[in-house]
Structure 1
Amino acid sequence: MRYGALILGVIVLLVFGFMPLTSVVIDQWSRRDVELRSRLLFSSMRDQVTTALANDDETALSNLFNRLAEDERLLAVTYCDENGVMRYPSKNFPRNISCNDLARSDRPNFSTITNDGRQIYVAAFPLSTEARKGHLAILHDLSFVDRRAREVRFYWVLAIFVVGIGISLLAAAFMFLLLRQWLTSVRQTLLDARKGTLPPDGNGAPPILGAEIQKLVRDLKANRQSSDTSIQIDWSPETLQKLIAEELPGTQVIAVSNREPYIHNKTEDGASLQIPASGLVTALEPVMRACGGTWIAHGSGTADRETVDSDDRIPVPPDEPSYTLRRVWLTEEEQDGYYYGMANEGLWPLCHISFVRPSFRESNWSIYQQVNERFADAVAAEARAPDPIVLVQDYHFATLPAMIRKRLPRATIITFWHIPWPNSETFGICPWREEIIRGLLGSSILGFHTRFHCNNFLETVDRFIESRIDRENASVTLEEHESLIRPYPISIDWPPAAMKGQKPVEDCRRIVRERLGIGQNTRIAIGVERFDYTKGVLDRMHAVDDFLTRHPEWIGRFVLVQVAAPTRTKLESYRRLQEEAIELAGLINEKHGDGSYQPIMLIIRHHEPREVFELFRGADICVVSSLHDGMNLVAKEFVAARDDDQGVLILSQFAGASRELAAALLINPYDSYGTAEIFQQALTMPEEQQRERMQLMRAQVRERNVYRWAAQMLVDASRLRNHQRILDLAQESRSGGSH
């Protein structure tokens, strides 16, 4: 229909475009024809008229002129003497035309006059005898020109329409044959694209078809890469649940992580519940509440075994269960080799490039693989269908995706790497780099926080693995399996659960200062993290020392409250960090403090989320000085806590959050002087500027919350599954056609 309308439009344009030109051509041609007829007529009658004039034979001239005027195109003939008097006019000569109306000269003259609404062509020829001088005037009625033009226009339009219809029929027949061949080629191309064997010319199709087919394949891949989650949607547990119901009806969601969202530990009063300080748990737990399904994790609590059923499962959250926690038990040897050894002495420092030498031991690698196999078995056991969606979390499970793929070939495996991915040269240090890359490429989708980390991964694959990389669509095909590489910036829930029941900001300011023994007029900078060498705790303290040295007017009026939860204390680097932090804080307090004032208050214990948010609301500044971080959700939690639109976020440019929270004060944590000056800027920033910056960051965190993060992955998973169904149908159609 569209092409038919296009052809009809072209025909109409041709008709109306050429119609005026046709009239002009016909008019000019007809006038030349009349002029030629007039000349011929004059030549044929000149001698006869001259003789009659010489003999003054009025009767002969009148009869001659009347006889000539009987021609259907000839209107009249007359003779005008030298005084302009008309003589011997034919019977039908127009009465209201005189010789003075006719153009005359000493040479033949041709003109057009209008009489009673009609065009009259006048040919005036000089004609003289010895006794007389004058002009012979021959008048033609030009009305026949209009009739001739109408006839030509009619046949012109008719010819164009006939030709147009003929072209349309030929084009339709050609397009039908072309489309039939194209559809056949598309089906074959989709099957070849699935196998990674698409030939350069589009599988033998004509060159133009081959190019279009390959463009279609690229568009299909781009569709899978794009996500409707870019539309402005108020993402919440409800909208995420609705998305799952619409896009993935009846699909089981299984999450796998090392750290569990709820830990049960033995106390004197029985089992106590603890929510671990983990960015992964902070992000994934609200998503699992919305999705339901099963979360598989290492049971690390001392009372974990006593709280599960016979299948090692427990419904969570305890107050309002919405999903199942399945615990996997590890021996102390397995935990040492897999968690402390390979994961945190090897991969963690390798990926963070934080100047701590990574340690790689064959025994740790062997245990790491064994534990990954254990978790793969747990996923297979928990799967109720052959095609669940499996969310594999973090660097503890680099080889797990490929292991799940062997057990559940139809599963949609989304692996999210919560830490940075280094450049290929750095990753090349790892002795088992190829095994790790192959393990990750068992994923259907492999996600990182930023596009930069995605590019690093693609470069690493290109350097160490024989595979086909599609950089335009950010995918890797290994052994006929395609993995999409995507950036998914992780975030927090909005509004955070920890905000529920929080007192007003002014009350929090007063309560925090009273609890910590800090004066009400003292400005507080807060730092909250695990005791990890990647978080830049020591660098932060050095910056405080530099700041108070350069700006002594803040001594007694400024305190850094550093909250740090002990972690991985089995590892020497972590124990040493904690010891160095305690020693450094003591030296700085001794240098700038006195008996009643300490510029650095180091609090080494775990804080529950409600306590942390209360600290955020009571502080003036939050400092996130990571030396290298995938995202860092502390920065986003501080922003979410400040519903008063006040407070200043100081954020490391090496944290992934800096890509989103551009309104923060960005620092290079290695630059003590620069960070000290940023402290001064933060403490002197006007409230109006604080408000503008905080409102921008709060809008960003609210819009790009954790539910949007999950929605991006699940929408891409849905499209991937739909694409797989199309390929399966094409395969079935091809198989059916071959029989």
Structure 2
Amino acid sequence: MSRADLVVVANRLPVDRVEGPDGEPVWRRSPGGLVTALEQVMQNLDGAWVGWGGKADLDVEPFEFDGNLLVPVPLSTEHLRDYYEGFSNGTIWPLYHDVIAAPEFKRSWWDAYVTVNRRFAAAAAEVVAEGGFVWVQDYQLQLVPQMVRALRSDVTIGYFHHIPFPAYALFAQLPWRAQVLQGLLGADVVGFQRVADAGNFQRSIRRLLNHPTKGDTVQVPDGDGSRLVIAKPYPISIDAEHFLELARRPDIIARAQAIREQVGSAKLMLGVDRLDYTKGIRHRLKAYGELLADGDISGHDATLVQVASPSRPGVEAYQDLRDEIEMTVARINGDYSTVENTAIRYLHQGYPREEMVALYLAADVMLVTALRDGMNLVAKEYVAVRADNTGVLVLSEFAGAADELGSALLVNPHDIEGMKETMMRALEMPVAEQARRMKTMRRKVLDNDVEKWGRTFLADIDELRRRRADGEGA
């Protein structure tokens, strides 16, 4: 097997295994946000990608796809239950999202997490070239950096944390807190979405491991000396130019116009989320339902289109959330829809990027009301395509995107009255104010695209390598 200078390690491969025209399985690029974010970085380098193939007990050999080597890591049904649905999404996900749901701490889940992380680390260590770079992605693989370092001391290791990192008081609840921190500190550069996340990480290191921190750096004991680790924010972004190209396509513009005509109301409000309890969909529906009940708006004035793509159907909390949201939608529609107008168009399915851009173009108001979110790229996608500088973004202050998109209408999604006032303000905002706010936000998104995110992270890796080669930073 050939070795690669850059190896991305992520929970999933960037492809899905689907049935081809002749009934044989074929690989198709995945639509996920992580894949989109890393697409450009991988295109410019001789890279490999280590990840699970998307089906239990799928054991296939490494293969080439779009010029990159893909290295599948086989996982059993039990691994997926305990490592993925269990520790990753039943323990880490709720704990790191401010305990919006209660995390469970099961030793069997932790054991599976260690086992699977070791398997990913071994695959990465085998495929990375001498002196290469291993870039580990996200909370499912927090132990991998240290495990790779133990196997391949010659390589440079990066880790990027796509979700929030919790405050010390929450993180300290994790029984395996020290092991997780040590796993992450196996990396040379540890990246976060927000300044606050990097700060939370460094506070946990000082409190639990007593390692000294200074600015964006941590001194990690290493043999007789110490090793310098960079831990700082690198806010992730989108391929803004690609979204702009889609927004200019005549067929997508026509589709956006057709959506507006089909909805029929004067204004279209849009929510696009994974069906997840962190996204604030329930709070959004409550505020919208109360606006209808209060008579502030009617079906003729506005329609809410809510896209809620399926997420983790095997986890009970997500099944309960879907039931609750669909009951709420049915009640609101039963009370306030008319023959001519539907109060809420609820769509529990995923859509291709072209359809999403058409929805962004059709929407007068974009509602991003997450209770906690690492970044939220939907907010940036909406801003990117609004080339005429119209439209209003209502954005939760608890989403990472709020740090960069301060010209949005920022809301606290727990404050239902405040949400109602902000939604009305968005619906009534003058075009001149829309343009002023949107111009500012679009400049931020277009100047700080995903290519710049990747370049910035890799530049810090290169700088660290240079300093070590010169005998600094030891």
**TM-score tier (shorter):** over 0.9
Residue 619 in 1 paired to residue 370 in 2?
no
In structure 1, what residue type is equivalent to 2:237?
S
Q: Deviations over 1:557-614 (max 9, x none)?
A: 2111111111111100111111111001011112222344221111011111111111
Pairwise CA distance, 1:451: 1.2
Pairwise CA distance, 1:354: 4.2
Of 472, 489, 511, the residue aligned with 2:235 is: 489
In structure 2, what residue type is equivalent to 1:359?
E
> Which residues in structure 2 correspond to 1:599-638 (within 5 Å)?
599-638=343-382
C-alpha distance 405-598 of structure 1, shift in aligned 2 (>3 A): same
> Which residues in structure 2 correspond to 1:405-444 (within 5 Å)?
405-444=149-188
Which residue is 2:215 aligned to? Answer: 472
Which residue is 2:52 aligned to? Answer: 298
C-alpha distance 267-572 of structure 1, shift in aligned 2 (>3 A): farther
> Which residues in structure 2 correspond to 1:636-675 (within 5 Å)?
636-675=380-419
In structure 1, what residue type is equivalent to 2:241?
P
CA distance in 1, matches of 2:335, 2:456: 50
Pairwise CA distance, 1:477: 1.7
Pairwise CA distance, 1:550: 3.3
C-alpha distance 302-404 of structure 1, shift in aligned 2 (>3 A): closer
SS of structure 1 residue aligned to 2:263: coil
**Equivalent residues of 2:94, 2:101 under 8 A apart:** yes
SS of structure 1 residue aligned to 2:471: helix
Of 288, 300, 306, the residue aligned with 1:544 is: 288
Which residue is 1:264 aligned to? Answer: 17
**Equivalent residues of 1:405, 1:411 under 8 A apart:** yes
C-alpha distance 273-681 of structure 1, shift in aligned 2 (>3 A): farther
CA distance in 2, matches of 1:506, 1:684: 24
Higher relative contact order (CA 8 A, sep 6+): 2
Residue 332 in 1 paired to residue 86 in 2?
no
Pairwise CA distance, 1:355: 2.2
**Equivalent residues of 1:445, 1:483 under 8 A apart:** yes
**Equivalent residues of 1:624, 1:651 under 8 A apart:** yes
Q: Deviations over 1:304-358 (max 9, x none)?
A: 76xx6xx32231xxxxx23222221111111111111110000000000142000
C-alpha distance 605-553 of structure 1, shift in aligned 2 (>3 A): closer
SS of structure 1 residue aligned to 2:366: strand
SS of structure 2 residue aligned to 1:644: coil
> Which residues in structure 2 correspond to 1:10-21 (within 5 Å)?
none
> Which residues in structure 2 correspond to 1:177-576 (within 5 Å)?
252-266=5-19, 270=23, 271=25, 275-301=29-55, 311-315=61-65, 321-385=66-130, 387-467=131-211, 469-479=212-222, 480-496=226-242, 499-500=245-246, 502-503=249-250, 507-514=254-261, 517-519=262-264, 521-576=265-320
**Equivalent residues of 1:345, 1:358 under 8 A apart:** yes
CA distance in 2, matches of 1:274, 1:671: 42
**Equivalent residues of 1:354, 1:534 under 8 A apart:** no
Larger helix share, 1 or 2: 1
CA distance in 1, matches of 2:415, 2:292: 15
**Equivalent residues of 2:289, 2:332 under 8 A apart:** yes
CA distance in 2, matches of 1:336, 1:569: 12
TM-score, with length taken from structure 2? 0.93
C-alpha distance 325-725 of structure 1, shift in aligned 2 (>3 A): same
Percent identity reads 34
Q: Deviations over 1:94-150 (max 9, x none)?
A: xxxxxxxxxxxxxxxxxxxxxxxxxxxxxxxxxxxxxxxxxxxxxxxxxxxxxxxxx
CA distance in 2, matches of 1:251, 1:494: 28
**Equivalent residues of 1:559, 1:601 under 8 A apart:** yes
Which residue is 1:237 aligned to? Answer: none
Larger strand share, 1 or 2: 2
C-alpha distance 607-301 of structure 1, shift in aligned 2 (>3 A): farther
Which residue is 1:86 aligned to? Answer: none
In structure 2, what residue type is equivalent to 1:696?
T
SS of structure 1 residue aligned to 2:44: helix
In structure 2, what residue type is equivalent to 1:411?
V
Q: Which runs of 5+ in 2 are unaligned?
A: none
CA distance in 2, matches of 1:498, 1:272: 30
TM-score, with length taken from structure 1? 0.61
How many aligned residue pairs are there?
A: 467
CA distance in 2, matches of 1:360, 1:367: 13
Pairwise CA distance, 1:289: 1.8
Pairwise CA distance, 1:510: 1.9
**Equivalent residues of 1:525, 1:560 under 8 A apart:** yes
Pairwise CA distance, 1:251: 8.1
**Equivalent residues of 1:277, 1:530 under 8 A apart:** no
> Which residues in structure 2 correspond to 1:161-176 (within 5 Å)?
none
CA distance in 2, matches of 1:505, 1:330: 39
Pairwise CA distance, 1:506: 5.7
Q: Deviations over 1:259-300 (max 9, x none)?
A: 222212237863466554533223122221223411111100
CA distance in 2, matches of 1:551, 1:621: 19
Pairwise CA distance, 1:673: 1.1
C-alpha distance 600-426 of structure 1, shift in aligned 2 (>3 A): same
Q: Deviations over 1:411-444 (max 9, x none)?
A: 1111011111111110011110011011001010
Q: Deviations over 1:681-718 (max 9, x none)?
A: 11111112211211111110011111111111111111
Pairwise CA distance, 1:554: 3.4
**Equivalent residues of 1:346, 1:360 under 8 A apart:** yes
SS of structure 2 residue aligned to 1:388: strand
